[in-house]
Every structure is written in structure tokens, then in C-alpha cells.
């Protein structure tokens, strides 16, 4: 089945620094990837949708200059949290579209726990 690999699984960074999270589709080509964040005991909130080779579409209220998304290839999308602050601490999850999986293509990564200190 389709597999999405997300790295790192957890990261701690200092306030003011930038952190990059990678999302790779291992055995399929992902034309579209979605980035979510989840706060404790809350829902998965969509941050942005990225299509290969084009600019990401951000949801209302998500700062595009703070959360930089790059989807330069059909197997890799990256989310960079720039100038991170403690309020950016959250669980970030990517999802990729595959035409081969039975659930209409939504395969999720294992998530990244970001802690900003």
C-alpha cells in the first residue's frame, strides 16, 4: 500500500530558529500534499494544500511567510517553520494523494512533534 514517510518524528528547537519538516511519498507520486497541525485534544486543522510545482494554497489565518511550504517534486514536500516561537509548538501531519489506495488517496504521515523552547 501507499506509504508516506515524515521526518523528523520529533524536534526541539530554540525560539527564533527555523525548522524543516519533510514529507515523502515512498511508493507513489503525490501530486497534492496537505499539511495539518493538531493541538492537544483538538482536531486536525488544515494549514495548506500544496501541488507539485506550484505555490501552496494556505487556509485562512495561516501565515504563509511563517510556514513555508515547498513541493518541488512528486515525492517530496517540505514545511519550514520560520522564526519559531513557543506558540508554534504543535503536532504537524502531512497527507498525500495517491490514486492507487482504496480510500481515494489520502495517506498520512506519522507526524512531527515540534517543541519550541
Partner 1 sequence: DQQVKQNSPSLSVQEGRISILNCDYTNSMFDYFLWYKKYPAEGPTFLISISSIKDKNEDGRFTVFLNKSAKHLSLHIVPSQPGDSAVYFCAARKDQGGKLIFGQGTELSVKP
Q: Residue 53, Cβ neighbours under 10 Å: how many?
A: 10
- Work out how close the CB of 28 gets to partner 1 at its nearest, in angstroms, rounded to a whole number: 14
Map the footprint of partner 1 across residues 81-100, applying CB under 8 A: 91, 93, 95, 97
Rounded distance, CA 14 to CA 19, Å? 10
Is the previous residue joined to 8 through a cis bond, with omega within 30 degrees of 0? Answer: yes
Q: Which is nearer to partner 1, 16 or 26 (CB)?
A: 26
- Work out how close the CB of 67 gets to partner 1 at its nearest, in angstroms, rounded to a whole number: 16
Piece in contact with partner 1 (CB under 8 A), picked from 11-19, 32-40, 66-74, 82-90: 32-40
CA-based Rg of the chain, rounded to a whole angstrom?
A: 13
The answer to whether the beta carbons of residues 49 and 32 sit under 8 Å apart is yes
Piece in contact with partner 1 (CB under 8 A), picked from 2-10, 11-19, 62-70, 78-86: 2-10
Strands 10-13 and 112-116: parallel
Among 11, 13, 46, 62, binds partner 1 (CB under 8 A): 46
Which residue is listed with cell 482536531? 43
Which residues of the shown chain bind partner 1 in the complex (CB under 8 A)? 4, 6, 9-10, 32, 34, 36, 41-46, 49, 91, 93, 95, 97, 103-106, 108-111, 113
Amino acid at each position: 500500500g501507499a506509504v508516506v514517510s515524515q521526518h523528523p518524528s520529533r524536534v526541539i528547537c530554540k525560539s527564533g530558529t527555523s525548522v524543516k519538516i519533510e514529507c515523502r511519498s515512498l511508493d507513489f507520486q503525490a501530486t497534492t500534499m496537505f499539511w495539518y497541525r493538531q493541538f492537544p485534544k483538538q482536531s486536525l486543522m488544515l494549514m495548506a494544500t500544496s501541488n507539485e510545482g506550484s505555490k501552496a494554497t494556505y487556509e485562512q489565518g495561516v501565515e504563509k511567510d511563517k510556514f513555508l511550504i515547498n513541493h518541488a517534486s512528486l515525492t517530496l514536500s517540505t514545511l519550514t517553520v520560520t522564526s519559531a516561537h513557543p506558540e508554534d509548538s504543535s503536532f504537524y501531519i502531512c497527507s498525500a494523494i495517491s490514486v492507487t489506495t482504496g480510500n481515494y488517496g489520502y495517506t498520512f504521515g506519522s507526524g512531527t512533534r515540534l517543541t519550541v523552547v
